[in-house]
Amino acid sequence: IELSVTDGGATGSVFWVVTSSTAVGNPTAQFNAGWGIPDPLMDGVYIWSGTCDSLGVSDNALAGFSYYPNPATEVLSLKSANTIESVSLFNLLGQQVISTEIGATTSDINLSGLTAGTYIMKVTVDGQTGTYKVLKN
């Protein structure tokens, strides 16, 4: 795209938008065979586009920790190579529905008081926290 510069002391010069650049975090345009950010006083339409890495979350599982069955009906069994400090369950509204201190490598969580649905379980083992999806039938 060619653009005529109308002010900024460079009237008559031509800018064009590059279609690719390796300038990370700094929009660039080519100006008379040089690279730089255009003078902010210059009129024109500038279009920059690019791609970003996919958004997501890192793996937040705890090594040596397991739980079963999933989906569960009445009881969810927990097992860890190290001491399970605490467990909390949250509904999908973010409300805490179960919170308990464990202090052992195995435990059973009573789910009988919960309605059927999806819950997020937050488990702390040796100061590290992992989150897991739990289904209650």
Q: Domains in the chain, ordered, with CATH?
A: 1-56 (no CATH), 65-136 (2.60.40.1220)
- The DSSP code sequence of the chain is -EEE--STT-TT-EEE--S----TTS--EEETTEEEPPPTT-----------PPP-----PPTTEEEE-SSBSSEEEEEEEEEEEEEEEE-TTS-EEEEEEEEEEEEEEE-TTSPSEEEEEEEEETTEEEEEEEEE-
Please report how many Cα atoms fall inside a 13 Å half-sphere around the Cα of residue 34, on the Cβ side. 5
> Mean pLDDT across the stretch 85-106?
97
Per-residue b/e over 106-127, b at no fewer than 16 CB within 10 Å?
Answer: ebebebeebeeeebebbbbbee
Which pTM does this prediction carry?
0.58
* pLDDT above 90 (res 104): yes
pLDDT at residue 60, rounded to an integer: 72
* pLDDT above 70 (res 97): yes
**Euclidean distance between CA atoms 116 and 110, whole angstroms:** 13
Q: Return the closest-CA partner of residue 85 out of 68, 69, 62.
A: 62
pLDDT, averaged across the chain: 77
**Euclidean distance between CA atoms 59 and 76, whole angstroms:** 22
* pLDDT above 80 (res 11): no
